[in-house]
Amino acid sequence: MFENFQNEILIISRLLLGGAFLFAGLRNIQNRKLVASLMAARGVPQATLALWLGIVLQVVAGALVIAGLWTAPAAAALILFLIVATPMFHNFWDRQGADRTSRINGVVSNVALAGGFLALIAKGI
């Protein structure tokens, strides 16, 4: 049934996956002071520089995924970003109650995003 719409589905998936990171990177620019302080509190050396590198990665790789340019390398870069960022910002093991649940949900969401990127890589687009 969906075979006739494979290209359209892939375009939508690139828009959704890449768009999530493009949006997150732009949002992180707005919240850069807060995010940098959170990163520093978690022990990230050169937190401001690391934040800006992460923002550039999110925005550029997200835009590449959306555009369908160098999709596999951009998706792989975003998977690596998730591997680094997830334990940094979703440290559920240090939390209790609703905050713990929220952080666990963040981990699950990031795992799902990584799965979407792996599907794009497997598709070879």
Dist CA 34 CA 117 (whole Å):
28
pLDDT in tens, 68-117: 999 999 999 999 999 999 998 888 888 899 988 998 898 999 999 999 99
Dist CA 123 CA 112 (whole Å):
17
Residue 77 DSSP SS3: helix
Mean pLDDT of 30-40: 94
CA atoms within 13 Å, Cβ hemisphere of 46: 5
Dist CA 33 CA 116 (whole Å):
30
pLDDT in tens, 54-82: 999 999 999 999 999 999 999 999 999 99
Residue 22 pLDDT greater than 80, yes or no: yes
Residue 52 pLDDT greater than 90, yes or no: yes
Buried residues in 1-39 as b, exposed as e (16+ CB within 10 A): eeeeeeeeebeebbeebbebbbebbeebeeeeeebbeeb
